[in-house]
Structure formats: structure tokens, C-alpha cells
Structure 1
Amino acid sequence: MTAEDEQTAQREGPMSLAAAPQNHQSNPDDASIVFSKSERMFPNMSFDFQDTGEDRSLTERMIADHQITHLLMPHVIADADAKRATAHDLQNRFKFVWQLSGTHHFEDRHQSLTLSPGEMMIVSVGRTYRLEMGENCEALLLFFDPASFPAWQEIVHRDMSKVIDASGAVAASAAAASALLHHARGGRADALAVRSVVELALSSLERDDEAPLRLPLSLQRARLLIGRNIGDATYGPDALAKDLGVCRRSLYSLFGRLGLSPAAFIKRQRLEHARNEILSDRNHQISLSTIALGNGFPDSSSFSHAFKAVYGVSPSALRSPRKLI
């Protein structure tokens, strides 16, 4: 930025969310390339590109298990299908949508709303809905799994498919996601940074600070039972259903209302417990193999693979003294 540009920026005040990404705007792609990218990046959706002659582009980056995408997609209709999402194992995924310019119209069987520049929305990838992207539609997306953020899980499901008004946290999280999209190097720091972006975006949701955030009572009981059997590798959905006094079908229905599966919930509880053990063992007195076996994993290799898939870093990297968590 030149001195003249800096003076102009100071006169105009802070950059808005809508204006912020313009410095990083992707170069327009050929229409066939955009269509091919769209089908690959969003396999749960079908697209109708209106022939307006406008520039369109898609840019993505994978960081750990999070996909960040910048899209410039004016005059496009996209239909998401729940069955296609399940077929591609996307039923538990959610995405942040930060609207940068233009409008994004969202519609499902329950509601219809429009996302304007500066606003944010959380959308369940596993649902059926329609998106109508209007003139100059530019947005930033970040995909995540709420089960990786248990403290926020209930609020994510409560506030999905709602317009989140512009705020400092919304703007800051969008700017951070954009920075990772364009400058991430794929290291351990990026994996931690993208989790911080998710938490920053989630902090913009309204929380009732008068009362602690709580999962439904039945899921609290499930978490307690899993904790009591954390070292039993055979403890799975059938055993959990029996201990809760419900049939297998009711158990899956209970978790399904929060976009979860019992097996995934059990696995996340094991990983969370193991992660807390690693962080608490500051002197490295407990081997990672012992921690793995003690939390129901058959061996350290499968534990490390599952751990890195969720947290973006391996267990050994987490306990490194150079790592800030």
C-alpha cells in the first residue's frame, strides 16, 4: 500500500466485510471449469448457471478436515439434496457462509431468507435446500463438524439457517478465513488457526450467559456413560442404547436430531478425553500408546490417525513443548 493509499484508507475508516476480500478476488474461470469445480467441491448440490456472461470463479483450500472456499457466483441456482449429502458422507458437516457482496437467497421447507453483505449464516450440508445467488454474489465458505466443538454443538443446531448480523466477530472471522485461504502453508499452525477461526465465528452467535450451555439431558447421560466405559474398546451404540434404556432405533433418532450418529459421538468423546489427558500430562509420564489403549483405541496408530483427522495435529505434535494450544 502506498502512502497515498494509506492516507485514503485512514480517511475512509475501517474496511467493511464486503470490501475486505476485494484485494484477494480470484481471477475468473472458464464457464466449464467453474461448473466442473462446483460439482467436485459440492457433491451434494446440482447447479443451474444462468447465461449472463458474467465472470465466475471458485477457489478452495483444505486445512486439516476444513474446506475454505471463496466463490464469485452471480446468477446461479444451487439445489442441495440430503440424500446426496449422505451418499458422500457429508450429513454431519456444516458450513459458515460469509456474504461479501451481492445477495444469497436461502430457502428450505421451513423458511426463506436473504443474506446481505456483512452478514453470516450457518447451513447444515446434510439438509435439502435451495440457494439463489444474485447479481455480484461473492461469498466465503468454511466447512466444519460441530462435533469437534462440543461446547458449541447445541447452539450451532439452534442457530443454523438464521441470518447472523454483522459484527466485529463476524468480520474478523471472515478476514481470518480469507487469510488462511490465500496464505496457509499447510503446517501445524494452520490446523490450529482454522479451529480458532471456527471458534471466533461461533462466538458471534448469541449465547445465554445467564446459564451454562447444556446438551439435552439424554445426551448428557450418554456422555457420562461413555466416560465410565472410556477404556472399553467394545463399548458401542448397542451397549449405549442398553444402558440408556432405549432401543437402537430410538438411539439413532435421538442423535439424528442433532445431526450426529452414536458411533461418531462415542468416538469424539474418546478423542476429547484423550486430548485432555495429553494436555494434562505436562511431564510426559504417560506414553501415547497407554493413552490410546486407555481411551478405547486398539493401537497408537489408529488413535493418531483419528486424532489428526479431528484436530489437525497428531497426538505427539500436541504434546510438543513448542506447541501453543
Structure 2
Amino acid sequence: MAAHFNTSTLAPQEREEYIREMARRQAGTPEVNHSDEPTSIYRPLSVITLGAVSVSTIRGNSLSIRRTQNASQDNVEQTVVLTMQLSGTCVVRQNEREAVVRPGEFVIHDNSQPFVLSGTQAVEQITVSVPRNVLALPSSVLRAASARTIDPSHPTAEVAATYFRQLVHSTGPDHNREPDLLGPSCIELIRALIATTQDQRSDVAAEPPHRTLQQHVMTYLRAHLGDSDLSASRVAAEHHISVRQLYLVLSRAGISLGDWIRTQRLEESRRELVSPRGRHATIESVARRWGFASASHFSRAFKKTYGMSPRQWRLENLAA
């Protein structure tokens, strides 16, 4: 899906507030300031949405964007932003570092942490935004990568520059037809670029994204195992991927989602039935605590798996 925004149709006195509101919606950023007169402000913006990935082309004059607190306090989505400078110069400050980004160079910043992005002249940029949980990299890796320029002569940067230029300059609808293919390609390129910023090559950043994404998915599943509405569509939505991608990520680890959830719920229920906390609880309450719709459904699944009913299991183990 593509969208276009422009300030040229607005009255001069409305342009600055419009740009400030766009920045808030995209990044939850509280401070946006222009050094130019309202009549000279311009900022055309084109956005392509590829699943969880957002690719934007931005042109405009001098601007300063500042975040002063963590994104969690602003209640906005936490994203990592890759900026490719096409013309002009901008400055990115984060984690006590400052990067002066010139045409052809890349820079990364973590939108969930305090940062400053500023420029004193007209610029043109391509930005790629990815939710942090989809990028699936530790905070330490993102911290080490932020506010560091990436040399455009690096082979990975050359590939990324060509890819993103062709993506935003495509005139046909092809880039909208396969978001499940183009979005993951953007993510892999960003991970590869982050790996080039590490003082010592980061195994985590260089690792294929499905491995770290799998870790995030499994952590989420364990944390929400007792939720009765835990489903493939919910897990996929929480991680900004399609259901097809979710099944693919898990299949690479030999995991069948439905079987894994059922097995883990039965194991946790079996443990709780004879635990000090659960031995006096009703079988139905234990079943519902671990996501089963009813005691009868739980009892059938339990007996099929362990060869005895939950009640028999509890009596035999408590007697022993």
C-alpha cells in the first residue's frame, strides 16, 4: 500500500503543525521544530507499506526532530529506522554519539530511545522503519549500531542502496503485490547493515533473522500459554508477520504450533495437579488456567496423551 502527503496544499500557517502531527503519528516524537519561515516550509512524503515494514521517501528543508524519553512512555510502537541520505546533510545524535550523514551514506537510530535528528539545509532521504520485535535484535546490538554512519562503498551498503532506490522509484504496482516477499528482504538488509557497524562482527546481527524471530515467538508463546485465545493469527499479528511466515519460522525448528501449544499446556496442567499450589484446585480451574475451553475437553486430551484421567493422575501421585 502506498500513501502520499504534501504540505503544498496547506496554508502557510498550517504547514508546521501538519508536519509536527505527521512526525507524532510516525514516531510519537514530541518535539519537531523548523528554522524557516512558515511560507517556505515544504515536506512531501511518500510511504510504501510492506507488511510490518514502512519505506518512505522524504524531501524537505531544515528540520529538527527530538525524542526526550523512551517510546514506552509515549505509548507508541518501538521501531528501528534506517536512513539513506540522498542529498543534503543531516546529523543524528543518540547514545552519546553524533553521526554527520552525507549523500550516499546510511545511518541507523533506535526510535524507542532518546535521539535528535537535525538538518540545516534541504535534504532528500529514504527511510525504512521496522518494529524492534520484528528486527529481533538485542538492545545491546542496536545501541552499538545507532548514530554510526555506514560507508556507501561497503558491499552490503551498495546492495542496500540499489535495492531501496529501485523499490521507491518503481512505477508499477509490483511492490504492492508481494509484501510478504519484499518486507522480509528489507529486514534482512537492515540486519546485514547493522552487522557492518559492529566493532567486532556480531554473530547475532549476522544471524539469519528467522532464528532470533523464532526465539521471540517462543518466548511470547510461553508467556501466554494460558490464554484461551492464543492462536496463529494472534501470534503473527503480535510479531508483525503473516501467518504463513509464522508457520515457516517454526517449521524450520521442527515445531508444529498447534501440537506444541497442546503439549505444553498438558505438561503444565499435569505438573500443577500435584503441586502444592494446585493439588486442592478443581480440575476445571486447572484446565482453564492453562487455556483449555472446558474440563471435558481437557480430560479427553489428558487421557489420550497420558493413558489416564487427570483425576487418576492426581490420586496416584498424591498417594505416592
Identify the TM-score tier after normalising by the shorter chain. Answer: 0.5 to 0.7
| Runs of at least 5 residues in structure 2 that lack an aligned partner in the other structure | 206-211, 228-234, 266-289, 293-320
User: Is 2:154 the counterpart of 1:142?
Assistant: no
Residue matched to 1:278: 251
Question: For the Cα contact (< 8 Å) 1:121–1:161, is it kept in 2?
Answer: yes
User: How far 1:191 moved relative to its partner?
Assistant: 2.6
> Identity of counterpart residues, as a percentage?
13
**Which gives a bigger RCO, structure 1 or 2 (Cα 8 Å, sep 6+)?**
1
- Correspondent of 1:50 among 32, 35, 43: 35
Residue matched to 1:61: 48
SS in 1 for 2:121: coil
Structure with greater Cα Rg: 2
Question: For the Cα contact (< 8 Å) 2:71–2:113, is it kept in 1?
Answer: no
User: How far 1:59 moved relative to its partner?
Assistant: 1.8
TM-score, structure 1 normalization:
0.55
SS in 2 for 1:170: helix
Equivalent residue pairs, number: 230
Query: RMSD between aligned alpha carbons?
Result: 4.4
TM-score, structure 2 normalization:
0.56
Question: For the Cα contact (< 8 Å) 1:97–1:139, is it kept in 2?
Answer: yes
The list of structure 1 runs, each at least 4 consecutive aligned residues, that deviate by more than 6 angstroms after superposition, is: 25-28, 207-212
Q: Distance in 2 between matches of 1:95 and 1:107?
A: 13
User: How far 1:39 moved relative to its partner?
Assistant: 3.4
| 1:77-124 deviations in Å (ceiling 9; x for gaps) | 11123245532333x421111111101112246122311111111101
Q: Distance in 2 between matches of 1:208 and 1:103?
A: 23
CA distance 1:48–1:211, change in 2 (3 Å): closer
| Runs of at least 5 residues in structure 1 that lack an aligned partner in the other structure | 1-24, 236-263, 300-325
Matches within 5 A, 1:114-125: 114-125=100-111
User: How far 1:42 moved relative to its partner?
Assistant: 2.9
User: How far 1:210 moved relative to its partner?
Assistant: 9.1
User: How far 1:186 moved relative to its partner?
Assistant: 7.0
Which amino acid is 2:74 matched to? A
User: Is 2:175 the counterpart of 1:202?
Assistant: no
Which amino acid is 1:103 matched to? T
User: Is 2:156 the counterpart of 1:156?
Assistant: no
SS in 1 for 2:33: strand
Q: Distance in 2 between matches of 1:211 and 1:123?
A: 19
Question: For the Cα contact (< 8 Å) 1:152–1:202, is it kept in 2?
Answer: no
SS in 1 for 2:196: coil
User: How far 1:69 moved relative to its partner?
Assistant: 1.6
Question: For the Cα contact (< 8 Å) 2:225–2:261, is it kept in 1?
Answer: no
Question: For the Cα contact (< 8 Å) 1:85–1:125, is it kept in 2?
Answer: no
SS in 2 for 1:162: coil
Residue matched to 1:110: 96
Question: For the Cα contact (< 8 Å) 1:230–1:294, is it kept in 2?
Answer: no
